[in-house]
Structure 1
Amino acid sequence: MSEQQTTLKRTLNLPMLIFYGVGVTIGAGIFALIGEAMLIAGNKAPIGFVVAGIIAAATGLSYAKLAAVYPRAAGEAVFVNIGMGPNWARLVGIGVTITAIVSSAVIALSFAGYLGQLITIPAPILVLAILVTMATIACLGVTHSVIFAAIVTTIELGALIVIVWFGAEHLTVPANWVNGLAPPTDFSLWPAIFSASLLAFFAFVGFEDIENMAEETIDPHINVPRAIIGTLIITVLIYALVALVAVSAPNPDAVANSEAPLATLFAQLTGGNGDLIAAAATIAMVNGILVQIVMASRVMFGMGKEGLLPKAISKLHPTRQTPIRATILVTVLIAILALIFPLGGLARTTSAVILVVFTLVNFSLWRIGSRKDAAPSLQRWKLLGLVGAFLSAGLLAIEMINQLSNWT
């Protein structure tokens, strides 16, 4: 098979980008980690999702502003390279790749957990089978991948809307909104809420991946920022409603302790079984794995092209125009992590790494916007970078303090 250095093909429009962003954002985060968040913060878990959403939104605006000026693959590394230099950029690019790889391992484990509710096959076999299948689709081309992701996104969104529909009666009770979203006056509860926020932050990881598709997007200066903002609006709304329904369920403890929490929630709301939601969740996991493989391989490709990784990693297939070498490497690393480490630890690691990346990207916006030759839009929004950096670093610092206090 011959390879040559070529360019990525511009085939993605705004709707396809939003489908991609929503598909990579919504998935394992809400389908698997809502239970984990409830175990940590109890009925205040929705606050954790709101806090995580606020931080994601602040950073999302920074990404949108930077992406409008620098629409390139490996966007985070490009932003930080321009703002802080190549060493920091290399760190960020590696961090983004690690995030995609580790989060894909989380999703693969969640996939095995939900599918295990439907069929009896050992989890390691399920993990390996789905990774090989998704890597194959990723190698076929970005259009195939995004169309597949769009179809699956429709299914997973439908499943979440069904849960909200059947839980609507709980959303009409004002006391449930107060119970789930009112800030507690007992300050001893806040460490648990912030810890749940870090975990919930994993559920928002994905919107930033849109930037890494910039070189395959039509009119990226316009469509990439719009897709980032649109993805965040859709995601925050859905997460808030689903989290409120979950903590208002007849038996929230059963939801929190379930290996398939939304399937258990659906069964409680309808009086039936949760097989329908388990099936939809399984499909959602498939989607999340695919888009993360696509994103991580593009980051590696972009870093190779920028000279931040060996040039060999930026080689594209001459006809498919996909980074097959990077795709295979990413898939192998995901498989290793998924077969060795537990879900909760992987999710926390993902959130911590991406918060470091977000802090540096936000700070880069401020650095770039402070320059006299910077684009006017970046000069106007440079203070947004400081706000986003403060919020991202703050959540990470609070979690580190919580963990240290637990160890002592």
Structure 2
Amino acid sequence: DLGHSQYDVVAALFVIGLSVLLSVGIRESATVNNVFVVLKISALIVFIAAGAFLVHAANLHNFNPVGWGTLHPFGGMADYSSSAQPYGIVAIGAYVFFSYIGFDTATTTAEECKNPQFDVPVGVIGALAIGTLVYCATAIVLVGAVPWNHVPIKNPLVYALAPLHIPALSWVITMGVLAGTTSVALASLLGQSRIFYVMARDGMLPPAVSAVHPRFKTPMTTTLLTGAAVAVLALIVPLNNLLNLVNIGTLMAFSVVCAGVLYLRKRRPDMPRSFRVPFVPLFPILGIVCSLFLAVFGLSRMTWTWFVIALVVGLIFFFSYGFRRSNPKDVVPVEEPPGLAEFA
């Protein structure tokens, strides 16, 4: 019974299927991804509209019952699903941070933009504003319809709409959740392929990683390798642990990117830039402080332990291979294969 196995076989097969799709048809994947995004947003809008009739003002009283939580370094949640302990804003914020992964994708497509100085900030801020609005409205309707301490961990949106006795709504929400999962997985797998492609081009990974398939015009090798690695993790690692690792990895990556902006602005001010970050050094410093704050006070010691292990392994590989083969002075603007550029 795959549904009750200690190994998440369904998740692994799901990742492998998406990786194969990205390897042989990024153009088709782009269309599928756009359709899934529309379905996800539409499902959330349906929930907001239908759930608004179930909102009770009393449920919104004392809107922040737990507060910021207990702020101890490395004292965040390790496994939310197995604990009845209510956590504060910081721990929950760090835990759900993965929901906002992908809004920065527009920054990786600056080379393909006609006017990156305008298109990139509009794309990032616009997508972030719309996503935040929809997420916040969904959360308010959910806790307005169901007291916050009675919201179930599994299928909370379907549970909240149950008093309406409209089975079709459950199907709409379920399909929206599946569509959202698929769109995020597609974008994440593609984004990692872009990262590995650029790293290989800059000498930090073997050249074979950046090889482009002659027929499909996609970096098939790196896409399939990425998919295989993710599939193995999805198969054997519990979901909550994976989410925490994704969160800490993303928060630290954002910190490094912000630090990189400060470094390059100081050391290489004349380097051609498709997009120039405004309000430097204020924005990068705020990005570093906020990301590190969430990572330190919102995530658990176990999450940090696994992150340090992964970081050490990565550093060993970098200094044994990439450091001797890459030269920062040789870094040039990205010239991506047609498949990746068209997906973006």
Q: Is the 8 A contact 2:44 2:176 kept in 1?
A: no
User: Distance in 2 between the 1:131 and 1:186 partners?
Assistant: 35
Residues 368/128 of structure 1: CA separation in 2 closer, same or farther (3 Å cut)? closer
User: Distance in 2 between the 1:185 and 1:196 partners?
Assistant: 9
1:160 equivalent in alignment to 2:44: yes
Cα offsets for 1:200-252 (capped at 9, x unmatched): 11111111233334455555554333221221111111111111122222355
> Structure 1 regions of 5+ residues with no counterpart?
1-111
1:261 equivalent in alignment to 2:156: yes
Q: Which residue of 1 aligns with 2:285?
A: 386
1:208 equivalent in alignment to 2:91: no
User: Aligned to 2:120, which of 224, 241, 260?
Assistant: 224
Residues 314/242 of structure 1: CA separation in 2 closer, same or farther (3 Å cut)? same
Alignment of 1:291-330 (within 5 A): 291-330=187-226
Q: Is the 8 A contact 1:127 1:335 kept in 2?
A: yes
Q: Which residue of 2 aligns with 1:194?
A: 90
Measured after TM superposition, the shift of residue 178 of structure 1 is 5.1
User: Distance in 2 between the 1:178 and 1:136 partners?
Assistant: 49
User: Distance in 2 between the 1:178 and 1:356 partners?
Assistant: 35
Q: Is the 8 A contact 2:66 2:87 kept in 1?
A: no
Alignment of 1:95-106 (within 5 A): none
1:348 equivalent in alignment to 2:244: yes
TM-score, normalised by the number of residues in structure 2: 0.71
User: Distance in 2 between the 1:217 and 1:137 partners?
Assistant: 25
User: Aligned to 1:399, which of 272, 278, 298?
Assistant: 298
Q: Is the 8 A contact 2:248 2:295 kept in 1?
A: yes
1:271 equivalent in alignment to 2:170: no
User: Aligned to 1:148, which of 10, 32, 35?
Assistant: 32
Q: Which amino acid aligns with 1:292?
A: S
> Per the alignment, in what secondary structure is the counterpart of residue 145 of structure 2?
coil
> Structure 2 regions of 5+ residues with no counterpart?
72-84, 303-344
> Per the alignment, in what secondary structure is the counterpart of residue 180 of structure 1?
coil
Cα offsets for 1:318-348 (capped at 9, x unmatched): 2322110011101111111111111111111
Higher relative helix content:
1
> Per the alignment, in what secondary structure is the counterpart of residue 322 of structure 1?
coil
Alignment of 1:2-401 (within 5 A): 124-169=8-53, 173=57, 177=60, 179-180=62-63, 184=67, 192-215=88-111, 220=116, 222-250=118-146, 252-253=148-149, 255-258=151-154, 260-268=155-163, 270-273=164-167, 274-371=170-267, 373-374=269-270, 377-378=276-277, 380-400=279-299
Q: Which amino acid aligns with 2:23?
A: C
Q: Which residue of 2 aligns with 1:88?
A: none
Out of 369-378 and 195-204, give the one that drifted further: 369-378
User: Distance in 2 between the 1:179 and 1:318 partners?
Assistant: 60
User: Distance in 1 between the 2:66 and 2:36 partners?
Assistant: 35
User: Distance in 1 between the 2:5 and 2:255 partners?
Assistant: 41
- Identity among equivalent positions (%) equals 24
Q: Is the 8 A contact 1:180 1:247 kept in 2?
A: no
Measured after TM superposition, the shift of residue 396 of structure 1 is 1.1
Q: Which amino acid aligns with 1:308?
A: M
User: Distance in 2 between the 1:207 and 1:194 partners?
Assistant: 21
Measured after TM superposition, the shift of residue 171 of structure 1 is 6.0
Residues 208/242 of structure 1: CA separation in 2 closer, same or farther (3 Å cut)? same
> Per the alignment, in what secondary structure is the counterpart of residue 381 of structure 1?
coil
User: Distance in 2 between the 1:186 and 1:285 partners?
Assistant: 29
Count of residue pairs brought into register by the alignment: 284
Q: Is the 8 A contact 2:59 2:147 kept in 1?
A: no
> Per the alignment, in what secondary structure is the counterpart of residue 17 of structure 2?
helix
Larger radius of gyration: 2
Q: Is the 8 A contact 2:12 2:234 kept in 1?
A: no
RMSD over equivalenced CA pairs, Å: 3.3
User: Distance in 1 between the 2:96 and 2:11 partners?
Assistant: 23
Residues 132/246 of structure 1: CA separation in 2 closer, same or farther (3 Å cut)? same
